[in-house]
């Protein structure tokens, strides 16, 4: 039995989470996966009522009693500073020490690529973004705020432990999946602290002689992602640069509506989420694409040792998008629920063909 905590979040996060729970329940019944889905109402509505994002002790419950967390998008204009989203999402990432942000980037169909002549064969990269250090440690602040003399300071934090474990995770995954090269993106030519990244990268790379280690300054790496994406397989980078490069990777894959992610630590409870926002302007209109949430659930199933079920989900998404049975953002005409129905139908067809 795998216990999964489901946090729908806000806006379209609630809509796509509802659809993926429906799909997972059918998949669980058909394949007898032993999934136990438990929903938590952590989001803007509860925060506005109680002033609390995550209740005291909830982190320990997730850490000790659940096998995975499936999280919808966070964000609500009624909470202008998004305090609840930071408390929940960043709280989970930092509190559970989920140091790997894992982002596969590849178009589901040729037409989704914005690059001429570059499709799924040429664009197939996986980004390992460091997830718990860097500039998002909230170290710094403002002095003389609101005056002409205001000074704003933000400091980056990089530890040998934090840098080495994310680089090691990238090489280990590359080795296990038959990848030939790993690229580091940093700015060690301009930011002295990034020398730690380059030195550590070279040291870890020496342990994997079968894998070519490539070093890029991050601006050159962004250029490479657009001009020669076929030259990149695995990328490892800092928290801030990873935040930017992964969205570039999502754009190359067809947009945020089809971009899944995983937040991982082999010694903690993993968290899986689509990378799109809560899109308040789309809420209730049936326009949200459920694909990214379904693909995030597929990553979750793979992590839980259900590789066959994960393939069923990802294949069904790929088929529906290829056939145009999808939402408007990826070239279809279906609503959120209709697109989820199409995914569910393709998934069931695949299961029936296997049994006959």
196: Cβ contacts below 8 Å, ≥ 6 apart: 158, 160, 163
Q: Does residue 355 carry a pLDDT above 80? A: no
Specify whether the CB–CB gap between 122 and 112 falls below 8 A. Answer: no
| CA gap 129, 186 in Å, rounded | 11
In this predicted structure, what is the pLDDT of residue 81?
A: 86
Residue 230, token pair as written in the block: 């076929």
pLDDT band at 136 (very low <50, low <70, confident <90, very high): confident
Phi/psi at 7 (nearest 5 deg)?
-115, 100
Interval 25-84: pLDDT, tens: 999 999 999 999 999 999 999 999 999 999 999 999 999 999 999 999 999 999 988 899
Clarify whether 217 is annotated catalytic.
Answer: no
Clarify whether 186 is annotated catalytic.
Answer: no
Specify whether the CB–CB gap between 267 and 248 falls below 8 A. Answer: no
Would you say the C-alpha torsion 67, 72, 78, 79 has a positive or negative sign? positive
> Given 118, 179, 186, 187, which residue is catalytic?
187
Clarify whether 99 is annotated catalytic.
Answer: no
121: Cβ contacts below 8 Å, ≥ 6 apart: 230
Q: What is the mean pLDDT of residues 183-196?
A: 96
Interval 269-328: pLDDT, tens: 999 999 999 999 999 999 999 999 999 999 999 999 999 999 999 999 999 999 999 999
Phi/psi at 114 (nearest 5 deg)?
-85, -5
| CA gap 349, 150 in Å, rounded | 62
pLDDT band at 215 (very low <50, low <70, confident <90, very high): very high
Whether the domain at 1-104+258-356 and the domain at 114-253 fall into the same CATH topology: yes
9: Cβ contacts below 8 Å, ≥ 6 apart: 17, 42, 43, 71, 72, 73, 74, 75, 88, 278
Residue 146, token pair as written in the block: 């609101």
> CB under 8 Å, gap of 24 or more: what pairs does 172-176 form?
173/126, 173/128, 173/234, 174/208, 174/211, 174/233, 174/234, 175/208, 175/210, 175/211
Q: Does residue 234 carry a pLDDT above 90? A: yes
Domain spans of the chain?
1-104+258-356, 114-253
In this predicted structure, what is the pLDDT of residue 80?
A: 83
> Given 41, 144, 219, 285, which residue is catalytic?
219
> Given 28, 136, 179, 341, which residue is catalytic?
136
Clarify whether 216 is annotated catalytic.
Answer: no
In this predicted structure, what is the pLDDT of residue 1?
A: 87
Q: Does residue 356 carry a pLDDT above 70? A: no
pLDDT band at 350 (very low <50, low <70, confident <90, very high): confident
- In this structure, whether the domain defined by 1-104+258-356 belongs to CATH 3.40.718.10 is answered with yes
Helix (H, G, I), strand (E, B) or coil at 41: coil
Q: What is the mean pLDDT of residues 245-249?
A: 97
> Given 67, 124, 247, 345, which residue is catalytic?
247
16: Cβ contacts below 8 Å, ≥ 6 apart: 72, 73, 274, 288, 289, 290, 292, 293, 336
- For the segment(s) 114-253, the CATH number from 3.40.50.620, 2.60.40.4070, 3.40.50.300, 3.40.718.10 is 3.40.718.10
Share of the chain above pLDDT 70, in %: 99
Mean pLDDT computed over every residue of the chain = 96
Clarify whether 76 is annotated catalytic.
Answer: no
Specify whether the CB–CB gap between 272 and 263 falls below 8 A. Answer: yes
pLDDT band at 146 (very low <50, low <70, confident <90, very high): very high
Q: Does residue 140 carry a pLDDT above 70? A: yes
**Residue with token string 């082999």:** 266
Specify whether the CB–CB gap between 102 and 128 falls below 8 A. Answer: yes
């Amino acid at each position: 039995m795998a216990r999964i905590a489901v946090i729908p979040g806000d806006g379209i996060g609630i809509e796509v989470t509802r659809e993926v729970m429906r799909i997972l329940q059918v998949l669980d019944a058909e394949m007898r996966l032993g999934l136990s889905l438990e929903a938590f109402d952590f989001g803007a509505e509860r925060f506005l009522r109680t002033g609390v994002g995550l209740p005291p002790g909830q982190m320990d419950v997730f850490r000790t009693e659940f096998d995975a967390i499936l999280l919808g998008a966070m964000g609500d204009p009624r909470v202008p500073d998004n305090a609840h989203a930071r408390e929940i999402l960043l709280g989970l990432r930092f509190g559970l020490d989920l140091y790997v942000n894992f982002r596969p980037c590849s178009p589901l169909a040729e037409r989704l690529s914005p690059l001429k002549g570059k499709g799924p064969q040429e664009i197939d990269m996986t980004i390992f973004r460091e997830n718990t250090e860097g500039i998002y440690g909230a170290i710094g602040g403002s002095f003389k705020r609101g005056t002409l003399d205001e000074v704003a300071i933000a400091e980056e934090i990089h530890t040998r432990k934090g840098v080495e474990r994310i680089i090691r995770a990238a090489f280990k995954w590359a080795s296990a999946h038959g990848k030939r090269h790993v690229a580091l993106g940093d700015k060690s030519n301009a930011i002295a602290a990034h020398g730690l990244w380059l030195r550590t990268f070279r040291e870890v790379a020496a342990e994997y002689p079968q894998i070519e280690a490539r070093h890029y300054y991050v601006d050159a790496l962004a250029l490479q992602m657009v001009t020669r994406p076929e030259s990149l397989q695995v990328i490892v980078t800092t928290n801030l640069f990873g935040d930017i490069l992964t969205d570039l990777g999502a754009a190359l894959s067809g947009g945020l509506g089809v971009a899944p992610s995983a937040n991982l630590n082999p010694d903690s409870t993993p968290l899986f989420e689509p990378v799109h926002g809560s899109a308040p302007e789309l809420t209730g209109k049936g326009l949200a694409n459920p694909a990214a949430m379904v693909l995030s659930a597929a990553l979750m199933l793979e992590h839980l040792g259900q590789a066959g079920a994960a393939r069923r989900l990802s294949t069904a998404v790929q088929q529906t998008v290829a056939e145009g049975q999808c939402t408007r953002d990826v070239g279809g005409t279906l609503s959120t629920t209709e697109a989820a129905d199409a995914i569910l139908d393709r998934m069931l067809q695949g299961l029936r063909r296997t049994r006959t």
